[in-house]
């Protein structure tokens, strides 16, 4: 059964993540074995999900590639391609309707659906590039269906979501991978859609659910209804807003981030009159700042439900939260309290087998979702074995072995047959080669003559052997 290696990257505002996995075709298609996940932290190189400094980001990608290639189960393979996630502040969805009148009743095939999706993708959105077309509900004549393939009718209406972003996002990613890292991009995958497919259950998507990816500089909200994407938007606020608020207490951002992780609480306990102190700062003062900003972010998240034209009771499956910001103490509890919706933390979806170690899968759900989504698309093999090293001796010259296709002008430094001032030229090799072959032929002829006794040396050699045999043969003397 064919096994492929898939590589994926997610470029976030606070870090870049890379992952490598294997997947097999056939009955286990779509199942992935995560071999390794690597992360590189960065600051101000990616803003709101868009690459601002391709050179520095490319250096991070290269470092991640080296570490992934060294992982058990991967080495000595080399990464040549990768799937890359698309996310960021400008990412959003727009509802769109496509109608096809066949004038006569026909059977709806998969090809018809693909043509409708292509027709939808041919539309344009001002200042944005369409990166995905998410199918919603279909209406065949008057009957609504999620998948009308195999049904008969003459008028088919497709309700889809056009997912688009600023062209700069893809263009700068290409500059990083194609131009700086010399890596092919196997495909772009919209990260929130991949996470929706991997982290939400089929039942949640049918009932109505909100997926919240609380990141460093952005928070992405994806709402599903009746098994399809109903709404997608990105809020330009994240956990870094909380960190920067803490810097108002006269500390650097790096230290403010540490304080937030150590004592920050979006739902702090009631003070008992004996406040704890961190770095000379009152913890209750810190958490007043944390809770105020967390409350603002949650208000913006909750508002997306009305922007989608829905009401909270139309999302009975509640909210599923992921992203680094969701690890803030008390955040999920405050989210449930403010929205009156049940809330759960996202976990690794079905079909994912964690093989490698040294990383927290919960922290890498975005890049794992990208790699899992790619596995469903008949993925491209993203790695290649290095060229074999074989010995190819040069006739007549004692040289070290070198790879086929290597540089013919190989260095001869350290060879025993070179002195300090000589350079072996092609002419020298040719003359030496001719002389060696001539001497070899002469020696072979002499050996042949010795065998048949035709040379003088051969005659005496043959006579000596006969005399030796006579002296050693006792029976010959007795006769």
232 and 137 in one domain? Answer: no
Q: Among 29-33, 79-83, 454-458, which range has the highest average pLDDT?
A: 79-83
Q: 180 in a domain, yes or no?
A: yes
225 and 286 in one domain? Answer: yes
Among 219, 174, 214, 171, which Cα is nearest to 82's?
Answer: 174
What's the N-to-C CA distance of the chain in angstroms?
Answer: 80
| Domains contained in the chain, number | 3
Q: 396 in a domain, yes or no?
A: no
- State residue 267 phi and psi, 5-degree precision: -130, 75
Q: 392 in a domain, yes or no?
A: no
What share of the chain in percent tops pLDDT 70?
78
328 and 193 in one domain? Answer: yes
Q: Could you tell me the pLDDT band of residue 164, with boundaries at 50, 70 and 90?
A: very high
pLDDT at position 429: 43
359 and 295 in one domain? Answer: yes
User: In CATH, what number is assigned to the domain containing residue 16?
Assistant: 3.30.420.40
349 and 298 in one domain? Answer: yes
pLDDT(129) > 80: yes
What share of the chain in percent tops pLDDT 90?
72
Q: 456 in a domain, yes or no?
A: yes
101-110, 113-122, 370-379, 386-395: lowest mean pLDDT where? 386-395
How far, in Å, CA of 363 to CA of 176, rounded?
Answer: 24
Final residue belonging to a domain, choices 150, 165, 180: 165
273 and 207 in one domain? Answer: yes
77 and 47 in one domain? Answer: yes
Final residue belonging to a domain, choices 384, 410, 440: 384
Final residue belonging to a domain, choices 109, 138, 165: 165
Do residues 19 and 34 touch, judged by C-beta distance below 8 A? yes
Average pLDDT over every residue of 106-127: 95
Task: Give ∠ CA 172-173-179 in degrees, rounded to 5.
Answer: 85
Encode burial over 420-444: b for 16+ CB neighbours within 10 A, e otherwise.
eeeeeeeeeeeeeeeeeeeeeeeee
Q: 393 in a domain, yes or no?
A: no
pLDDT tens digit sequence for 408-428: 333 333 334 444 444 444 444
pLDDT(136) > 80: yes
pLDDT(459) > 50: no
125 and 21 in one domain? Answer: no
pLDDT tens digit sequence for 215-235: 999 999 999 999 999 999 999
How far, in Å, CA of 129 to CA of 169, rounded?
Answer: 10
Per the prediction, the chain carries an average pLDDT of 84
pLDDT at position 464: 46
User: In CATH, what number is assigned to the domain containing residue 123?
Assistant: 3.30.1490.110
173 and 152 in one domain? Answer: no
298 and 177 in one domain? Answer: yes
Q: 408 in a domain, yes or no?
A: yes
Q: Could you tell me the pLDDT band of residue 43, with boundaries at 50, 70 and 90?
A: confident
CB atoms within 10 A of CB 245: 18
369 and 333 in one domain? Answer: yes
Average pLDDT over every residue of 87-115: 95
pLDDT at position 478: 42
36-40, 99-103, 374-378: lowest mean pLDDT where? 374-378
For residue 269, the enclosing domain spans 3-90+167-384
- For residue 18, with 0-12 CB atoms within 10 Å meaning exposed, 13-18 middle and 19 or more buried, which class applies? buried
221 and 350 in one domain? Answer: yes
């Amino acid at each position: 059964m064919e096994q492929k290696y898939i590589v994926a990257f997610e470029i976030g505002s606070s870090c870049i993540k890379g992952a490598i996995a294997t997947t097999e075709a056939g009955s286990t298609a779509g199942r992935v074995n995560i071999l390794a996940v690597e992360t590189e932290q960065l600051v101000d190189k990616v803003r709101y999900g868009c690459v601002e400094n391709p050179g520095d980001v490319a250096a991070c990608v290269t470092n991640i590639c080296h570490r992934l290639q060294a992982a058990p189960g991967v080495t000595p393979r080399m990464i040549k391609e990768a799937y890359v996630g698309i996310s960021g502040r400008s990412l959003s969805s727009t509802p769109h309707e496509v109608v096809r009148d066949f004038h006569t009743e026909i059977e709806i095939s998969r090809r018809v659906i693909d043509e409708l999706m292509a027709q939808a993708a041919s539309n344009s959105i001002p200042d944005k590039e369409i990166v995905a077309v998410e199918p919603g509900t279909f209406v065949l004549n008057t009957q609504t269906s999620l998948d009308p393939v195999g049904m008969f009718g003459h008028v088919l209406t497709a309700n889809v979501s056009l997912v688009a972003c600023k062209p700069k996002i893809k263009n700068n990613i290409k500059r990083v991978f194609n131009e700086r890292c010399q890596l092919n991009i196997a495909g772009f995958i919209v990260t929130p859609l991949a996470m929706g497919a991997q982290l939400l259950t089929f039942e949640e998507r049918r009932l109505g659910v909100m997926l919240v990816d609380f990141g460093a500089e952005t928070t992405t909200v994806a709402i599903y209804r009746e098994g399809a994407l109903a709404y997608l938007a990105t809020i330009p606020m994240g956990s870094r807003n909380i960190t920067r608020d803490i810097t108002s207490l006269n500390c650097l951002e790096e230290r403010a981030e540490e304080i937030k992780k150590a004592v920050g609480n979006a739902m702090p306990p009631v003070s008992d009159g004996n406040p704890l102190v961190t770095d000379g700062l009152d913890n209750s003062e810190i958490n007043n700042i944390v809770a105020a900003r967390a409350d603002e972010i949650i208000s913006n998240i909750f508002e997306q439900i009305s922007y989608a034209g829905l009401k909270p009771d139309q999302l009975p499956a509640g909210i599923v939260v992921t992203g680094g910001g969701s690890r803030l103490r008390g955040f999920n509890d405050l989210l449930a309290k403010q929205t009156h919706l049940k809330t759960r933390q996202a976990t690794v979806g079905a079909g994912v087998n964690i093989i490698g170690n040294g990383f927290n899968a919960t922290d890498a759900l975005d890049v794992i979702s990208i790699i899992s989504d790619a596995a469903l698309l008949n993925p491209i093999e993203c790695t290649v074995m290095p060229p074999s090293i074989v010995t190819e001796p040069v006739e007549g010259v004692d040289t070290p072995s070198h790879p086929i296709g290597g540089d013919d002008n190989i260095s001869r430094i350290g060879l025993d047959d070179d002195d300090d001032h000589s350079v072996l030229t092609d002419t020298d090799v040719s003359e030496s080669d001719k002389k060696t072959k001539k001497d070899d032929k002469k020696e072979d002829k002499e050996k042949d003559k010795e065998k048949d006794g035709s040379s003088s040396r051969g005659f005496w050699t043959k006579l000596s052997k006969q005399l030796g045999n006579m002296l050693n043969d006792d029976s010959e003397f007795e006769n």
